[in-house]
Amino acid sequence: MATLFQIKPGGNWYINFRHNGRQIKKSTGTTNKKLAEIKLKEIELQLFKGEQYPLGEKPVHTGIGEFFRRYTEFSNATKSAATHLSDNYRIKQIQNYFARKGIRNLKEITPGEIQLFQAFILIDHNARSYNNFLNLLKSMLNKGVEWGLIENNPIKNCKPLKIPKKVRFFTKEEIERLYAHADRDMKLLLDLALYAGMRRSELYFLRWKDIDLKQRLIHIRPHGDFTPKNRKSATVPINSKLLRILEATYPRTKDLDDLQYVFHKYHRPNWLDPTHSLSKHFSYLAKKAGVENAGLHDCRHTFAGRLVQNGTPILVVKELLRHSDIQSTMIYAYLDPDQQRKAIEDLIY
């Protein structure tokens, strides 16, 4: 709602209104209240119609550096620690690229420039990584529109690269080779990834006191720099084999804060994304074991794939993976081609 006010009697009338999350005060340029009321009605109509810049308020040319700094602060305040770290890494890459190209203002970002950026990113990254860069930059520019810094998102129609849906699962032989070449810490990492389907960030920030052997549960909850995905605390059940492994490795000290993190050996707090340390060490292991095209997240895929192959209902798999959306789980559904056949075989009328 817009309102009229005067700063001093007999002076110009001002309009006070809220737009795009900002409180705006604008002079009508007149001391005549009736003329000011006409201007007020114009503003109210523009606000009702959702026009981007009431009173002809156009955004100033915003510098890339200032905009990226503001978005980084926004990301830090609103996103999980892991997501913010990923954002920070990509923002620095994008900002460095724009600096080399001499792009200093948001208005200089164009679809043509994004095509050149795509070619640059694909030199050292795959298509999925490029899509992550593109999606982040789109989100940033959408926020720029919301903040009134630009009139529209210049790259909203830029399409992500098509990626074939292919999920990597480890064979029994590959898993045996991984275990055969793993040291004690990496074996425990494999155990938790393959028997509990834990994510990289969950493994990295897992503390011994998050493991409840009596209740046979692993608690995933926020603490310190860690915020669970989707900002939701969760519990992961521990099966009998994993329970025996954890009972044998659980520290015997009463003061678990001295050995706070299960994988403290791999902690790299100075890294831009410290959780990436686990992926690096897993890659070293896979290379040593002769397991090709292997990533730590493939353990989670293997966990889900085995559940489906064992006949676990897809909704149960969703809960065990802690997916917020069933669509994320459906990529594993095709692993049980006989499931539909089995379902109709049981029909009796």
Among candidate residues 300, 301, 306, 318, the one labeled active-site is: 300
Give the per-residue pLDDT at 327.
77
Does the annotation mark 229 as catalytic? yes
Interacting residues of 155 by C-beta distance below 8 A, sequence separation 6+: 109, 110, 111, 114, 134, 137, 138, 141
User: CA angle, corner 79, sides to 151 and 87, nearest 5?
Assistant: 70
Catalytic residue among 39, 177, 199, 318: 199
- CA proximity to 304, closest of 331, 340, 286: 331
pLDDT score of 9: 81
Distance CA 195, CA 262 (A): 16
State percent of the chain over pLDDT 70.
87
Residue of 79, 229, 267, 268 marked catalytic: 229
CB neighbour burial string for 250-270, b if at least 16 within 10 angstroms, e if fewer:
eeeeeeeeeebbbbeebbeee
In this predicted model, which residue has the larger pLDDT, 48 or 260? Answer: 260
Confidence of residue 86 (pLDDT cuts 50, 70, 90): confident
The pLDDT of residue 347 is 66
84 is catalytic: no
Is residue 92 scored above 70 in pLDDT?
A: yes
Q: Which phi and psi angles does 175 have, rounded to 5°?
A: -65, -40
Closest CA relative to residue 225, chosen from 77, 80, 27, 44: 80
Nearest to 21 by CA among 146, 140, 138: 146
Element at 281 (helix H, strand E):
helix 276-289
Cβ–Cβ < 8 Å for 44, 2: yes
Task: Tell me what the mean pLDDT of segment 91-119 comes to.
Answer: 91
Told to judge if 199 belongs to the known catalytic residues of this protein, a careful annotator would answer yes
pLDDT at 207: 93
Contact 257, 237 (CB under 8 A): no
Is the pLDDT at 59 greater than 80? The verdict is no
Question: What pLDDT score was predicted for residue 119?
Answer: 87
Q: Does residue 13 sit in helix, strand or coil?
A: strand
How many of the other CB atoms lie within 10 Å of CB of 227?
Answer: 20
Predicted confidence (pLDDT) at residue 346 exceeds the cutoff of 80: no
pTM value is: 0.57
Residue (of 138, 129, 145, 144) closest to 159 by Cα position: 138
Clarify whether 18 is annotated catalytic. no
Is the model's pLDDT at 55 over the cut of 60?
no
Mean pLDDT taken over the chain? 85
Beta strands in 1-63 (DSSP E): 3-6, 13-19, 22-27
Tell me phi and psi for residue 127, to 5 degrees.
-65, -35
Higher pLDDT, 299 or 13: 299
- The angle at the Cα of 81, spanning 209 to 204, to the nearest 5 degrees, equals 40
Write the CA distances from 19 to 46, 73, 143, integer angstroms: 11, 21, 14
Residue with the bigger pLDDT between 302 and 20: it is 302
Radius of gyration of the chain (CA): 27
Residue 300 is a catalytic residue: yes
Q: How does pLDDT run across 21-40, given as a tens digit for each residue?
A: 666 777 777 888 888 888 87
